[in-house]
Amino acid sequence: MGSVKDLEVVKKPTKGKMGIARFHFSDRYSVFDWGEMPDLIDGKGEALCMMGAYCFERLEKEGIRTHYRGLVDRNGKTARFDELEQPSNVMEIDLVNVYRPKTATYEGKLRYDYGLYTSNLKNFLIPLEIIYRNGLPEGSSVFKRLEQGLMTIENLGLDHYPQAGEKLERPIFDVSTKLEDKDRYVTWEEAKGLAGLTYGEVVEIRELLLKINEMITELARKANLVNEDGKIELAFDPFRRLMVVDVVGTLDECRFTYNGLHVSKELARKFYRKTDWHKDVEEAKRKTETQGVLEWKTLCESKPLKLDPVLKTIISEMYMATSNELTSHEMFNAPCLEKVIEKYKDCTAAD
């Protein structure tokens, strides 16, 4: 079970062959790496599943290899997006091996050993999240990293300090760890070493990211959305060919804006940033870096509150409306996205 979706293994992978599995998308959500939050967002699981399936099928048309096998209908059979009359929250996929880096505490700090990843390893999840940035909206992690000195404006390819909402002339490609206790940004050279990639594979990954970014940007534009940033995950198949895995093009993988307003779980993040719990989360994460603790949540002094009920309904409608408009298929009974945005503005006008 993951924080937002469950994995049903139908057939286990072997060292040389992929298995078969099914994602069960839930109405759970996660922010700030916490895992399952205390609310459920109605319709979220089905909306994510339908968006992800639609994007996978679009990638296939572009000749991009993915682990997607199809959606699972009410009768338990796999089907294509256009074949479904009702939304599904179950997606069937090809399954690769997941090898986790070893952990050890050295001089009071937690260390990860990626020695098992080599250029000869096949049929496995690459332990990285690959990120594109077309803009720098409010809430982007880039601003925090600049403030902390973890990156420079030169890294961004800029000659000035960026402002919130700034659009980039060309996308920035970022990379972070995937299988550590909390995501950690690394350089592309570091990523190459951690995952046992060749130089040619790094080039191929960046080219693939550009194609996916362009596809998602075009789909978003048709729904009057701006594709600000997003992430993909990749794996090697049994022939060590790259393929796109997990999910792409959804509100949990992308940060979309509508006339400058976030259309993603950023709305939930904004709610929680005003709480004491968020301060405790930040402090707990800082402590793990100095105390060598594997589970930072054990150091967090509080737990998250439930969402405001009105905001929770708006976020629910936002997921369903975005799915309708991004896929051009009205699978959900929800107001149009423009009306949902208006409701959110009214809800937050007093803040």
Q: What is the pLDDT of residues 208-238, one digit of tens each?
A: 999 999 999 999 999 999 999 999 999 999 9
Mean of the pLDDT values across residues 117-136? 96
> Is 292 a residue whose pLDDT tops 70?
no
Residue among 272, 274, 229 nearest 253 (CA) = 229
Predicted local distance difference test score (pLDDT) of residue 116: 96
Predicted local distance difference test score (pLDDT) of residue 231: 96
Predicted local distance difference test score (pLDDT) of residue 157: 78
Mean of the pLDDT values across residues 28-33? 90
List phi, psi (to 5°) of 282. Answer: -60, -40
Question: Which of the two residues, 87 and 159, has the higher pLDDT score?
Answer: 87
Compute CA distances 343 → 95, 317, 339, 340, whole Å.
Answer: 40, 10, 6, 5
Residues 6 or more apart whose Cβ sits within 8 Å of residue 258 = 224, 225, 226, 337, 338, 341
Q: What angle do CA 322, 326, 330 make, to 5 degrees?
A: 75
Predicted local distance difference test score (pLDDT) of residue 1: 56
Mean of the pLDDT values across residues 31-54? 94
Predicted local distance difference test score (pLDDT) of residue 152: 87
Confidence of residue 183 (pLDDT cuts 50, 70, 90): confident
Query: How many other β-carbons are positioned within 10 Å of the β-carbon of residue 84?
Result: 18
Average pLDDT along the chain: 93
The CA distance from 285 to 283, in Å, is 5
Compute CA distances 43 → 24, 50, 87, 248, 265, whole Å.
Answer: 13, 11, 10, 18, 14
Predicted local distance difference test score (pLDDT) of residue 107: 74
Predicted local distance difference test score (pLDDT) of residue 287: 84
**228 with 162: CB under 8 angstroms?**
no
Predicted local distance difference test score (pLDDT) of residue 2: 67
Q: Which domain holds residue 295?
A: 5-348
> Is 175 a residue whose pLDDT tops 60?
yes
pLDDT per residue as tens digits for the range 189-199: 999 999 999 99
CATH number of the domain at 215, please. Answer: 3.30.470.20
Residues 6 or more apart whose Cβ sits within 8 Å of residue 274 = none
Confidence of residue 312 (pLDDT cuts 50, 70, 90): very high
pLDDT per residue as tens digits for the range 245-272: 999 999 999 999 999 898 988 899 999 9
- Total number of domains in the chain: 1
> Is 27 a residue whose pLDDT tops 70?
yes
Predicted local distance difference test score (pLDDT) of residue 331: 95
Confidence of residue 181 (pLDDT cuts 50, 70, 90): confident
Residues 6 or more apart whose Cβ sits within 8 Å of residue 29 = 3, 4, 37, 39, 41, 44, 252, 265, 268
**236 with 120: CB under 8 angstroms?**
no
- Write out the two tokens for 69: 């096998």
Residue among 219, 264, 235 nearest 53 (CA) = 219
pTM for the model: 0.90
Predicted local distance difference test score (pLDDT) of residue 281: 94
